[in-house]
Amino acid sequence: MSVSSLVPMILATLSQLFGDAFEKLGLDREAGIVTESDRPDLAQFQCNGALSAAKAAGRNPRELAQDVIDAVGETTMLEPLTIAGPGFININLTDQALADQLNEVDERFNASTAEPRAVLVDFGGPNVAKAMHVGHLRSTIIGDSMQRMMRFAGHDVLTDIHVGDWGTQMGQLIIEVERRMPELVYFDDAYSGEYPEESPVTLDDLQEMYPAVAARCKEDAEEAERARQATLELQQGRPGYRALWNHFAKVSQVSQGRDFEELGVTFDLWHGESTVHDRVGPLIEGLISAGVASDSDGALVVEVAEPGDTKEIPPLILSKSDGAYLYTTTDVATIEARVQELHRDLILYVVDARQALHFEQVFRAARRAGVAPSGVELEHVGFGTMNDKNGKPFKTREGGILKLKDLIDMVSDAARARLDEAGMAADYEEAERNDIARRVGLAALKYGDLSNHRMSNYVFDLDRFTSFEGKTGPYLLYGAVRMTSILRKAGEQGFEPGRIVPPIDEADRNLMLQILRFPNVFDRAISQRAPNHLAEYAFELVATYSRFYESHHILSEADEHLRQSWLRLVAMSLALITLLLDLLGIQIPERM
RNA sequence: GCCCCCGUAGCUCAGAGGACAGAGCAGGAGCCUUCUAAGCUCUUGGCCGGAGGUUCGAAUCCUUCCGGGGGCGCCA
């Protein structure tokens, strides 16, 4: 996927220029690809094509590089080209060309793709009866960043939270409620009236019940059998169970909705496994008659192994020997719904990497079943786990699972403490101070996660996350706030941003070059489904800006054109960091 | 047993087949009478897990071994 952007893609322009030169020499124009320099001390950009082309043409690479330079010819855009090492061509823009490029930049940094697709991002995935905990954090913030990137790229995007609400644990909860409160009307087969509107259990009740009943089912075959039976009856529509299950879903959604709101994450669809229940029967019927699904030890399975497999792929179980469905079943049916009803052609699953095999099976089954035609892409965007300092999945000091809400409170409190201790924002209203603390805390949390490559298992160290120094979310907010502040003060003095003039020194030039990198970074981030590239770039942008800020006193600059130019650079930097942080789901306060 | 992911500075992590492998933290030395010091400058620190291979060129691709994590039919 390539980005067509209103930001002039300097690399595309240069690659065109060098591609033409290679072509003129009768060589592959692909060799003309220009990249950012690996050696910023030597050049801004480089072209390595002479090396590979020389090999293919049986020529000396440095001589060929010289031919390419001659073929490019003189241009006002470039400083004289030089050859380095074995045959690298080093490229620098003239300062005038650099300023010209910046003056072409649209501050919305539009990156709309030429080929919009109908995308669905499946992430979040909370389970009924469980409060959101740290385990949901990664799916939520990586998924949210994915949806923001996809939307920014101009795709038609829908998001679905895909709640885990239809599996075995539902039956377990039902039997646990029955065991404790057998008198409830939900368990009375003879009852035929309306069920109460008020839930007999709270989310806290369910949270406490679930581990208890799950443990019992593990040890006691009879209990497990009862839970299986309850799950089956729920799925088959027993009215009392359905009514009780609705309560479970509702109390869970209220709590989880608050957590997502707190994180600033929204979904277009709040669907779940149960949403596609009515599809499952017909789907299975169709698969049986088509010969895709078959019996295996009483269970209904789809064989998904393929001849070229390097590993053993077990068949996908569509329904258990007792007739109950699994999440595999609803996953296949959900693909069908997303294709047939929502007309999606790219479906991303932002789910724990440990489910890779599951998705491999589901995707293959969906292909075999004809549920996902060849034009529909299915992709598992996996991620690693968040561990503690000892490399174990993150737990509280007491060994329990840390609730997401408590985690957010911890980082917000730390930010608030930092605010107080540093004497910052001392004269702001209490409400604003709290808002700042919340944003700083969330920025620390989200940036700390998104700056890691999604596949790595990373260590969550609260002390490190709340130190707020160096490469952290708060550093980025701080940089942005200083940009806002300087623009505000400029406005008060009647100073306005103007046209960019050629840079006067390295700090100036580096900031300009940094801004021009955006389209390439975005392209890489979205095509690799890797928000960490944006996170890294956001840090580099602010760091480059900070050096610029330290070395130029903008508001006291006497040269009006230079001052206007610098103010424009500040405004562009602010627009860009705001965009980058928005793509990461991070909000910037007005001041801090 | 088979398969997947990960081994990069003391710590936490980036890294796009290319030039001397980067950042943050921690350690050391500095910078606030001017636009927010949650900042900036300088500095110490590496056989990119080991060994082979492909390539003009490998942290990156291939093979193999070692270490860590994970997954493998009726849980999600």
Q: Please, what is the angle between helix A473-492 and helix A430-450, to 10°?
A: 130
User: Which of A127-136, A184-193, A521-530 shows the lowest mean pLDDT across its residues?
Assistant: A127-136
Q: Is residue A269 part of a domain?
A: no
Q: Judge whether residue A2 contacts strand B, using its CB and a 7 Å cut-off.
A: no
Q: Judge whether residue A525 contacts strand B, using its CB and a 7 Å cut-off.
A: no
Query: Measured CA to C1', what is the nucleotide nearest A168?
Result: B75
End residue of a domain, out of A40, A63, A93: A93
Q: Judge whether residue A550 contacts strand B, using its CB and a 7 Å cut-off.
A: yes
For residue A3, pLDDT over 60 is answered with: no
Q: Judge whether residue A354 contacts strand B, using its CB and a 7 Å cut-off.
A: yes
Provide mean pLDDT across the span A282-299: 93
Q: Are A154 and A111 in contact (CB under 8 A)?
A: yes
End residue of a domain, out of A244, A263, A282: A263
**3 state SS of A41:** coil
What is the pLDDT confidence band of residue A6, given thresholds at 50, 70 and 90?
A: very low
| End-to-end CA, chain A | 38
Strand B-contacting residues in A 81-140, CB cut-off 7 angstroms: 84-86, 88, 90, 127
Q: Judge whether residue A543 contacts strand B, using its CB and a 7 Å cut-off.
A: yes
End residue of a domain, out of A211, A242, A263: A263
Q: Is residue A83 part of a domain?
A: yes
Query: Measured CA to C1', what is the nucleotide nearest A530?
Result: B14
Provide mean pLDDT across the span A461-469: 84
What is the distance in angstroms measured between the alpha-carbon CA of A393 and the sugar C1' of B10? 24
Render pLDDT for A344-370 as a digit per residue (tens, 0 to 9): 999 999 999 999 999 999 999 999 999
| Residue A56 pLDDT | 86
- Look up residue A452 and give its DSSP letter: S
Q: Judge whether residue A419 contacts strand B, using its CB and a 7 Å cut-off.
A: yes
| Residue A311 pLDDT | 78
Query: Measured CA to C1', what is the nucleotide nearest A327?
Result: B76
Residues A87 and A179 in one domain: no
Total of domains in chain A: 3
Q: Is residue A362 part of a domain?
A: no
Provide mean pLDDT across the span A109-123: 91
Q: Which positions of chain B lie under 7 Å from any protein Cβ? A: 1-7, 12-16, 18-20, 23-26, 34-41, 55-57, 68-76
| Residue A2 pLDDT | 39
Q: Is residue A122 part of a domain?
A: no
Compute the distance between CA of residue A503 and CA of residue A371 in angstroms, rounded to an integer: 57
Query: Measured CA to C1', what is the nucleotide nearest A39?
Result: B19
CA closest to B36 C1', residue: A482
- Look up residue A394 and give its DSSP letter: P
Residues A88 and A180 in one domain: no
For residue A1, pLDDT over 70 is answered with: no
Q: Give the CATH number for residue A65.
A: 3.30.1360.70
Phi, psi of A293 (to 5 degrees): -105, 145
Q: Judge whether residue A384 contacts strand B, using its CB and a 7 Å cut-off.
A: yes
Q: Is residue A197 part of a domain?
A: yes
Q: Judge whether residue A289 contacts strand B, using its CB and a 7 Å cut-off.
A: no
Record the tokens describing residue A254, joined without a space.
């209220």
Provide mean pLDDT across the span A201-206: 94
What own/partner pairs with CB < 8 Å and gap ≥ 24 does A435-440 have? A435/A589, A436/A589, A436/A591, A436/A592, A437/A412, A437/A413, A438/A412, A439/A477, A439/A586, A439/A587, A439/A588, A439/A589, A440/A412, A440/A415, A440/A468, A440/A473, A440/A474, A440/A477, A440/A589, A440/A592
| Residue A544 pLDDT | 97
Render pLDDT for A76-112 as a digit per residue (tens, 0 to 9): 999 999 999 899 999 999 999 999 999 998 888 988 8
Structural domain span for residue A25: 10-93
Q: Judge whether residue A418 contacts strand B, using its CB and a 7 Å cut-off.
A: yes
What is the pLDDT confidence band of residue A460, given thresholds at 50, 70 and 90?
A: confident
- Residues above pLDDT 70, as percent of chain A: 98
Q: Judge whether residue A78 contacts strand B, using its CB and a 7 Å cut-off.
A: no
Provide mean pLDDT across the span A427-448: 94
Phi, psi of A313 (to 5 degrees): -110, 110
Render pLDDT for A209-221 as a digit per residue (tens, 0 to 9): 998 898 899 888 8
Render pLDDT for A247-263 as a digit per residue (tens, 0 to 9): 999 999 999 999 999 99
| Residue A484 pLDDT | 98
| Residue A5 pLDDT | 44
Compute the distance between CA of residue A262 and CA of residue A483 in angstroms, rounded to an integer: 26
Q: Judge whether residue A424 contacts strand B, using its CB and a 7 Å cut-off.
A: yes
Does this model's pTM top 0.90? My answer is: yes
Residues A172 and A255 in one domain: yes
What is the distance in angstroms measured between the alpha-carbon CA of A353 and the sugar C1' of B9? 28
| Residue A306 pLDDT | 85
Q: Is residue A284 part of a domain?
A: no
Q: Is residue A331 part of a domain?
A: no
Using CB atoms within 10 Å of the CB of residue A262, give its burial: 0 to 12 exposed, 13 to 18 middle, 19+ buried. middle
Q: Judge whether residue A28 contacts strand B, using its CB and a 7 Å cut-off.
A: no
Q: Is A561 left (phi over 0), alpha (psi -120 to 50) or beta?
A: alpha
Q: Judge whether residue A451 contacts strand B, using its CB and a 7 Å cut-off.
A: yes
Compute the distance between CA of residue A534 and CA of residue A549 in angstroms, rounded to an integer: 22
Mean pLDDT over the full length of chain A: 92
For residue A120, pLDDT over 80 is answered with: yes
Q: Give the CATH number for residue A510.
A: 1.10.730.10
A310 vs A191, more confident? A191
A388 vs A580, more confident? A580
What is the pLDDT confidence band of residue A181, given thresholds at 50, 70 and 90?
A: very high
For residue A399, pLDDT over 80 is answered with: no
What is the distance in angstroms measured between the alpha-carbon CA of A261 and the sugar C1' of B75? 29
Q: Judge whether residue A288 contacts strand B, using its CB and a 7 Å cut-off.
A: no
Q: Are A554 and A518 in contact (CB under 8 A)?
A: no
Q: Is residue A441 part of a domain?
A: no
Q: Judge whether residue A327 contacts strand B, using its CB and a 7 Å cut-off.
A: yes
Query: Measured CA to C1', what is the nucleotide nearest A91?
Result: B19
For residue A312, pLDDT over 60 is answered with: yes
Query: Measured CA to C1', what is the nucleotide nearest A165?
Result: B76
Q: Judge whether residue A507 contacts strand B, using its CB and a 7 Å cut-off.
A: no
